[in-house]
């Protein structure tokens, strides 16, 4: 069943609606289902890409209620970020 988007952009969307939209998008893109690729992978990418921003700003943008959730579940560093942090330290 196709569901329409909420009338007000500020309204929340249920996880079931997001799941349905995700499945439809995968099908339209010709992608096969893959474990670990979904809504939460986008949230992890978002949190990791904005790691350099203040944590309270990231929480507000991403809708996280606690900083702990972001740090423990969503932000993941990669080798390039670690190397950049070490270079920044050397310059300081």
Using the CB atoms, write b or e for 38-61: b if 16+ within 10 Å.
eeeeebbeebeebbeeeeeebbee
The first and second tokens of residue 12, run together, are 């929340």
Tens digit of pLDDT at every position of the chain (92 positions): 556 666 777 778 888 888 898 899 999 999 888 887 887 888 888 998 898 899 999 999 999 999 999 999 888 888 888 898 899 887 76
pLDDT at 61: 93
pLDDT at 55: 94
The HSE-up count of residue 34 (CA atoms within 13 Å, CB side) is 8
* CB 74, CB 67: distance < 8 Å: no
């Amino acid at each position: 069943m196709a569901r329409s988007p909420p009338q007000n952009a500020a309204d929340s969307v249920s996880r079931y609606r997001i799941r349905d939209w995700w499945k439809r998008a995968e099908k339209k893109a010709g992608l096969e289902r893959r474990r670990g690729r979904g809504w939460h992978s986008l949230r992890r990418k978002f949190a990791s890409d904005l790691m350099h921003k203040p944590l309270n700003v990231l929480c507000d943008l991403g809708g996280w209620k606690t900083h702990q959730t972001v740090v423990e579940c969503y932000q993941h560093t990669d080798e390039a970020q670690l190397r950049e942090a070490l270079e920044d330290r050397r310059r300081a």
